[in-house]
Amino acid sequence: MKPHLLVPVLVILISAYVGVLGFQRNNLIKENGVLNTGLAVTKEELASTTERLNAEIASLQNERFNLRLELDAQTNRVGALSDQVGSITGAVNTLTKLSLTDRELLKKYSKIYFLNENYFPKKLLFIDQKYTFDPKKDEQILDGVLPYLEQLLNDAVSAGIEIRISSSYRSFETQIDLKSAYKVTYGSGANVFSSDQGYSEHQLGTTVDFTNLKAGSVFSDSAFAKSPAFQWLKDNAYKYGFELSYPANNSYYIYEPWHWRFVGRTLAKKLYDENKNFYDLDQREIDQYLVSFFD
């Protein structure tokens, strides 16, 4: 190229290049403006979204808190209802036990309450003759009492103590015959050791007269009272639910160390622990133990 044409060409090229750069710069400025606008919108949307999400989170937390309060309240209500159901169930069980337990079993007979000739224990069972003094004589006792009586006798044997049963259940008619026979022999003196019909604890089917081979069937307060069997009974009979009905100096009959009545382990233990006699307690207090009679 000729030298005099080089300068104009360069000027034209430079001008074109500057124009291109200017055009590109303008485009970049426009794009930057668009991007800045978009960024501003995005920031605004993000701020709005963040605010909305924070509000939703706060609402959810508040709802969760309220649900927790409601759950706790429901739990407390369920617990209270469960306690009520348990209480009602316990009351029903108690009433059921009471309805199935003969209320006569803890009455204070012996010249206080009267059992008429129509009273019979609900169910009597025969006592194994290995426990009786006279193996030819059938002895019976209330079915629920028999397991306690057998355990008492078996444990006595294990302790080296000989105890036999001389007498147990007696009907109203049997008591009439027995009292009549005693009156023939002892006259009016029979009243101090023998109950009239209807006043005998034996009619309940929960009472036994204990003896041993040495004391025999002829009762005297000295013969059996001085035996190891009686001492063992004094120390242990309450564990099986039995109590001595007529201890020394009682106001009903003579001292009868052989005569033991089943009153349930709970009441028998109370009498033993407090050194009290069954007939010392008020009948209303005694009746409270009917529900635990066979426990």
Q: Would you tell me which CATH number, out of the four given (3.30.379.10, 3.30.1380.10, 3.40.710.10, 3.40.50.2300), belongs to the domain 102-292? A: 3.30.1380.10
The whole model's pTM is what?
Answer: 0.68
pLDDT tens series, the chain, 295 aa: 566 677 777 778 887 777 778 788 888 888 888 888 888 888 888 888 888 988 888 888 888 888 888 888 887 887 776 767 666 655 556 667 766 889 999 998 866 677 888 889 999 999 999 999 998 899 999 999 999 999 999 999 999 999 999 999 988 888 776 656 555 455 654 444 455 555 789 999 999 999 998 877 656 666 889 999 999 999 999 999 999 999 998 887 789 999 999 999 999 999 999 999 999 999 999 999 999 999 9
Tell me how crowded residue 117 is: count the other CB atoms within 10 A of its CB. 13
End-to-end CA distance of the chain: 132
Alpha-carbon torsion (243, 246, 247, 250), positive or negative = positive
- Domain assignments of the chain as residue spans, ordered by start: 1-100, 102-292
Alpha-carbon Rg for the chain, nearest whole angstrom, is: 49
